[in-house]
């Protein structure tokens, strides 16, 4: 692994305004704090996993990193360029180097376009010639038959469609790919194939991934480091072996205890950390630690008063956690 940061995110926030009233009378009444001041970096060739429940802001994080939204606070620097400062057209050009793989492989492919045209879209978008041999090569890279280029997306299985989505993301040979839950819509047997394909491509093309998922076992397999998100904040971030062997944040513990163990005896023996209640609304955040209303630990009054900072366990440690009692 090269010692170079490809992506450096600092204090990034993305709020969505909640407005009421219609037409010219529309006024902002509140903010939905989807991502609320998060910082992380990704090294070249590394895979950073992001896990968390639905609505915790992990998809928004992925989209902010590609600057698919405007009005992002903080800085997102990709190879030294701050994407948040770019205009719309510059951001569009910057996307040549960074691509995205989407969760639902049916919805992310236009049903009225042949897959050959879908895979060729990145070339057209950036004004490059759509070469037949290059598209055939992309088909081979994702282990599909190039002769299927004239077919439509519905003629493929879920796994094949996801391969098409991957081929499209690879077309311009990007350096960095955001994988937004790329396997969660697929059958378990197919999931493994797609993960293996993504890993193989990473080695072959020297890619860097931001891998978003809610399935911890999938993330563990592919990631070098993992960030756990809760309500728009990163609560714990560390190397993936460290996270799984020594989880410190009570939320991480709860998530890990929900991972099924394929051995009934071991599964019966372990202690389940069950979380009660629902995720609080990202419009009305709880006071103090965001996790305190659901935290099984809730050790002190500090939890409901002061929001804990994400800080290293000991100076220089790569295990960062945001809990007063870690």
Partner 1 sequence: MDAVEKEAKKRNYAVNMLVRLVKEKPLGAAGAVVLLVLLLVGVFANVLAPYGYNDMDLSARLSPSSPAHILGTDNLGRDLLSRIIYGARISMIVGFSVALIGTALAAVLGIISGYFGGAVDFVIQRFVDGMMCLPSLIVVLTVVAITGPGLLPIILVLGVEGGVGGRVRVVRGAVIAIKRNLYVEASRSIGATSLRTMAEHILPNVMAPVIVMFTTSLGSAIITEATLSFIGLGIPPPEPSWGGMLSLSGRSFMLIAPWMAFWPGLCLCVAVYGVNVLGDALRDLLDPRLEGGSGSYKIKKMIGGGFGGGIFGRRRRQKPENT
Binding footprint of partner 1 on the chain (CB under 8 A): 23-24, 66, 68, 92-93, 95-96, 99-100, 102-104, 106-113, 121-122, 124-126, 152-155, 165, 168, 172
Buried b / exposed e across 165-202, counting CB within 10 Å, b at 16+? bbbbbbbbebbbbbbbbbbebbeeebbebbbebbeebb
Which CB atom, from 6 or from 119, has the smaller least distance to partner 1? Answer: 119
The length of the chain in residues reads 326
CB of 52 vs partner 1, minimal distance in Å: 20
Which CB atom, from 68 or from 313, has the smaller least distance to partner 1? Answer: 68
CB of 218 vs partner 1, minimal distance in Å: 20
The SS3 assignment for 145 reads coil
Q: Which residues pair with 15 in a beta bridge?
A: 33
Which CB atom, from 70 or from 203, has the smaller least distance to partner 1? Answer: 70
Which CB atom, from 161 or from 220, has the smaller least distance to partner 1? Answer: 161
CB of 122 vs partner 1, minimal distance in Å: 5
Token representation of residue 46: 């590394």
- By CB neighbour count within 10 A (0-12 exposed, 13-18 middle, 19+ buried), where does 77 fall? middle
CB of 169 vs partner 1, minimal distance in Å: 8
d(CA 50, CA 62): 9
d(CA 191, CA 187): 6
Which CB atom, from 66 or from 322, has the smaller least distance to partner 1? Answer: 66
CB of 155 vs partner 1, minimal distance in Å: 8
The SS3 assignment for 54 reads coil
d(CA 125, CA 171): 11
């Amino acid at each position: 692994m090269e010692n170079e940061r490809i992506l450096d995110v600092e204090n990034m926030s993305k709020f969505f305004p909640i407005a009421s009233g219609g037409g010219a009378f529309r006024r902002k009444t509140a903010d939905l704090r989807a991502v609320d001041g998060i910082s992380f970096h990704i090294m070249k060739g590394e895979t950073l996993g992001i896990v968390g429940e639905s609505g915790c802001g992990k998809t928004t994080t992925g989209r902010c990193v590609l600057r698919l939204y405007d009005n992002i606070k903080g800085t997102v620097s990709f190879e030294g360029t701050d994407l948040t400062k770019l205009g719309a057209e510059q951001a569009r050009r910057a996307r040549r180097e960074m691509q995205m793989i989407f969760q639902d492989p049916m919805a992310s492919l236009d049903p009225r376009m042949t897959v050959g045209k879908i895979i060729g879209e990145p070339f057209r978008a950036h004004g490059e010639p759509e070469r037949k041999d290059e598209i055939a090569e992309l088909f081979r890279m994702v282990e599909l038959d190039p002769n299927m280029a004239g077919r439509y997306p519905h003629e493929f299985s879920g796994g094949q469609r996801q391969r098409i989505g991957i081929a499209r993301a690879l077309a311009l040979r990007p350096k960095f790919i955001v994988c937004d839950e790329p396997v969660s819509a697929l059958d378990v047997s197919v999931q493994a194939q797609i993960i293996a394909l993504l890993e193989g491509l990473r080695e072959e093309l020297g890619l860097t991934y931001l891998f978003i998922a809610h399935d911890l076992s999938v993330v563990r397999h592919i990631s070098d480091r993992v960030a756990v998100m809760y309500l728009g904040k990163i609560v714990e971030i560390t190397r993936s072996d460290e996270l799984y062997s020594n989880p410190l944040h009570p939320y991480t513990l709860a998530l890990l205890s929900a991972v099924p163990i394929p051995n009934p005896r071991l599964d019966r023996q372990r202690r389940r950390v069950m979380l009660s209640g629902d995720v609080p609304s990202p419009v009305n955040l709880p006071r103090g630690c965001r996790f305190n209303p659901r935290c099984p630990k809730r050790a002190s009054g500090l939890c409901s008063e002061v929001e804990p900072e994400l800080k290293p366990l000991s100076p220089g440690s790569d295990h960062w956690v945001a809990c007063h009692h870690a």
